[in-house]
Amino acid sequence: MEQLNVAVLTVSDTRNLDTDKSGHYLFTEVENDKHKIAARDIVIDDIYKIRAAVSNWIAESKIQAIIITGGTGFYGRDSTPEAIKPLFDKEMPGFGELFRQVSYDEIGSSTIQSRALAGLANNTVIFCVPGSTGACKTAWTKIIREQLSLDFKPCNFVKLLSTGKH
Q: How does the average pLDDT of the chain come out, rounded?
A: 94
Q: Which of 73-77, 109-113, 144-148 has the lowest mean pLDDT?
A: 73-77
Q: For residues 22-40, b (16+ Cβ closer than 10 Å) or e, as one string?
A: bbbbbbebbeebebeebbb
Cα three-residue angle 143-11-61, rounded to 5 degrees? 70
CA distance 56 to 80: 16
Spatial neighbors of 84 by CB under 8 A, at least 6 apart, are 50, 51, 54, 68, 117, 119, 126, 128
pLDDT at 8 over 80: yes
Q: What is the pLDDT of residues 15-68, one digit of tens each?
A: 999 999 999 999 999 999 999 999 999 999 999 999 999 999 999 999 999 999
**Burial (Cβ within 10 Å: 0-12, 13-18, ≥19) of residue 157:** buried
Confidence of residue 13 (pLDDT cuts 50, 70, 90): very high
Confidence of residue 1 (pLDDT cuts 50, 70, 90): low
Please report the pLDDT score of residue 2 as a whole number.
Answer: 84
Residue 92 three-state SS: coil
pLDDT in tens, 114-137: 999 999 999 999 999 999 999 999
Between the CA of residue 33 and those of 115, 139, 165, what are the distances in Å? 26, 15, 23
Q: What is the structure's pLDDT at 163?
A: 61
Domain extent listing, the chain: 5-162
* pTM for this prediction: 0.95
Q: Does the 5-162 domain belong in CATH 1.10.3720.10?
A: no
Percentage with pLDDT > 90 across the chain? 89
Given a cut of 70, is residue 166 above it in pLDDT?
A: no
161 — pLDDT class (breaks 50, 70, 90): confident
CA distance 88 to 27: 23
Asked if omega into 81 is within 30° of 0 (cis), the reply is: no
